Structure 1
Amino acid sequence: MRMKTFRAATSTAAFAKVKAELGNDAVILSNKTITEDGCKGCEIVAAVDNQPVMSAPPNTKENVVDAALKESVGWQREWSQIKGQIMQLMKPQMDMDRLSPKQKIALEYLEREDVDEKVLTKIYCDLREDPKGSIMTTLDPMVKATPFTPRNWPNTFHAFAGPGGAGKTSTLVRLALKIKKESPRTRICLATADGGRGKGRLVLKHYAELSGLAFREIITRDDVALLQQEASQFDMILIDLPGLSGKTNLTEWTQLYGLQNLPELSIHLVLNPYYSTAQFERFVEKYKSEQLASVIWTKLDETCTFGLLLNMAFASGLPISALSYGTGLKNSIATAAEDSIWRLLFMRTLPNGDIQP
């Protein structure tokens, strides 16, 4: 067996070194926090068998299911392609004359807003069954809102995930300031998991000091464990997760840092509404997690179309919890409400009343 020690500023960076040198078959023997030259870091001891012995796994029900799922990966990719082809074939068959003039106008509007073809097909099929029905009867079940407030989200731990540049850090600060203004006695802790190297860390620390909020840094899973021990001191702990690079996905990252052990952790996916279709699908796959609880849309004042809000709701089934817009950190975020989402989609009206051109 080959064994080696890897050191880096964060668990993520150290784990990446392990995978790069020892491969996916490496076994993690230890994962601990170290201090070098006054800076905290992570040390991982990993090992890999030089000559792995390929033995047949026990013929249990669990192993049979695991093997079947692994073999189905190629089939799932093929089925995804088939579904795309089916949608392409169905779209020409969407006879718009079977809809009422009002339904037709609404469907054409949603198409201009870049609503995905799969969503449009679902809407068309529902409307075709009830030519006199309102399009809102079809859309209402798709989009739900659960406003980001302590009352609606009473659990302590909330993490904010999403691609770099989506506005996770500013969203976290905006929500913390809003909650503190509305409920001054709420005990809030801001935590950063960017490894102490990113600009977001300085922003969080700065506003935590100005607003009288607690501030913590997460560099390794030991820091997550310490934060869990302190949880009783706070009503809400808001954690800023870093953008995920390479092939790392959200589930792997949370397991690496031990976030899956946090009680009732809610992860809120922070996205912009102007990603391309390919980017959107990539992010949905990369940030897939059983702990995802809601979607927060940011930079609404910078977008031209809002169809992605409907696409995400259809693809994930997650409620929208907040809507962010503008450059300032105060009065630039609103807790989500279904009527404000529909005004945004159909009237291009931001939560503050401004109308997007």
Structure 2
Amino acid sequence: MRMKTFRAANSTAAFALVKADLGKDAVILSNKTVTENGSKCCEVVAAVDSVPAAATARTRNDVVEDALHGTAGWQREWSQIKNQIMMLMRPQMDRETITPKQRLALEYLEREDVDDRAMTRIFCELREDADRSIITVLESMVEVKPFQASRWPGVIHAFAGPGGAGKTSSLIRLALREKKSNPKARICLATADGGRGKGRLVLKHYAELSCLAFRELMTRDDFMLLRREADQFDMILIDLPGLPGNTTLEEFTALYGLSTCENLSIHLVLNPYYSQTQFDRFMEKYKSEQLASVIWTKLDETCTFGALLNMAFASGLPISALSYGADLKNSIAPATKDMIWRMLFMRKLPGGDIQP
């Protein structure tokens, strides 16, 4: 990681220097006023992932060719290993060994895009007991922990995930829902996008409309100050930025001092219609001991719901909230297993609408 110090007459000019030199993905480590030659000025320390100088002169085609060349070998090898494992498993997955009703359930889950790993587990469970229903098997694979203040002892909740997943809207929806259920709740909305996205303005707007506290987090010191303020609030909701490049969630939380925050829970916000390859990538990028749940968004836009089962099985993380519809009010619900089974088998969204 490349780190550099910038000084200018004011913070606006200093941030402009950071952007010009290190780019928009630079992380602000500190921002303070110092005295230089008898005059006060703004000093900003910023850092960015190191990139070889030669790489900036290369074309997109060069980068793509190198990426394909570098990954084709291990991707091919991993694909062969998975195929060999499944070939070994398929002879054992003789569907004649389970009941017609159980076979029908497996066929339905396949149409819902439940992946081979989860299907293998389900089949093995059903084969052990001819009387066992599919729901009892799924109960053991999917955990829920509804997003409600009473169910989460920690005060600070951060929302992580890829850009466009719906982190900001989910945060606002949950804040409005909590405020409606408990009007006296002291809630703080915070943005850590560094002023780069419109989500900051949206968050500030709804905080002002709903009489909620609002904080902007641009430096490590800002995060530390918010942690010291935690006793003033019943719930703090932080909108984390999409992580650039190869930066992982663990690296981000360590950089900003969040990795030592004991009362912090991080929620991974995802859509059901990402590909399985993308889900695998997200699990690697966002893995963290502080990662506490998955929040599913844009459920009204998806065609199948198998991804909810796949992620629950692969990650072991509980599902905490389900977001559906375009409205900010009454379009998110703390997750329950009953809601998930209704979506999976009846295509019924938490709000009661039937998904075609």
Task: Flag whether TM exceeds 0.5 (same fold).
Answer: yes
TM-score (ref. length: structure 1): 0.81
- The RMSD of aligned alpha carbons is 3.2
Give the counterpart letter for 1:179 in structure 2.
Answer: E
Q: Does 1:33 align with 2:31?
A: yes
Structure 1 residue runs of 4+, over 6 Å off? 12-17, 77-80
| Cα distance change on mapping 1:265 and 1:45 into 2, 3 Å | closer
Partner residue in 2 for 1:342:
341
Give the whole-Å Cα distance in 2 for the aligned partners of 1:259 and 1:232: 16
- Paired amino acid for 1:353: G
Q: CA 1:307 to 1:292, structure 2 compared with 1: closer, same or farther past 3 Å?
A: same
Deviations 1:291-349 (A, max 9, x none): 01011000000000000000000011111110000111001001101111111111110
Question: Does 2:100 correspond to 1:98?
Answer: no
From the superposition, tell whether residues 45 and 155 of structure 1 become closer, same or farther in structure 2 (CA, over 3 Å): closer
Distance 1:3 1:114, change over 3 A: closer
Q: Which amino acid aligns with 1:225?
A: M
Q: Deviations over 1:71-106 (max 9, x none)?
A: xxx99x977863453024423542111111110010
Which residue in the other structure is 2:126 paired with?
Answer: 127
Match of 1:149 in 2: 148
Q: Tell me how far 1:154 sits from its aligned partner.
A: 2.3
Once the 2 structures are TM-superposed, how far is the Cα of residue 4 of structure 1 from its aligned partner? 5.2
Task: Select 2:45's aligned residue among 37, 43, 46.
Answer: 43
Q: How far does residue 272 in structure 1 lie from its aligned partner after superposition?
A: 0.2
Q: Which residue of 2 is the match for residue 183 of structure 1? A: 182
1:353 counterpart residue number? 352
Q: State the Cα deviation string for residues 31-86 of structure 1 (Å, max 9, x = none).
A: 421479xx98841489x9xxxxxxxxxxxxxxxxxxxxxxxxx99x9778634530
Give yes or no for contact 1:9–1:195 (8 Å, CA) kept in 2: no
| 1:199 to 2:198 alignment | yes
Listed as ranges, the matches of 1:129-278 within 5 Å are 129-278=128-277
1:189-239, Cα deviation, whole Å (9 max, x unpaired): 000000022110001100000000000011011100110111111010000
- In structure 2, what is the Cα distance between the partners aligned to 1:144 and 1:220? 35
Q: 1:236 to 1:9 in 2, by over 3 A?
A: farther
* SS across alignment from 2:236: strand
What amino acid does structure 2 have at the position aligned with 1:43? V
Alpha-carbon distance in structure 2 between the residues aligned to 1:210 and 1:312? 35
SS, match of residue 293 in structure 2: strand
C-alpha distance 347-4 of structure 1, shift in aligned 2 (>3 A):
closer
Give unpaired runs (5+ residues) of structure 1: 21-29, 49-73
Aligned length: 318
CA distance in 1, matches of 2:91, 2:20: 51
Q: Distance in 2 between matches of 1:156 and 1:341?
A: 27
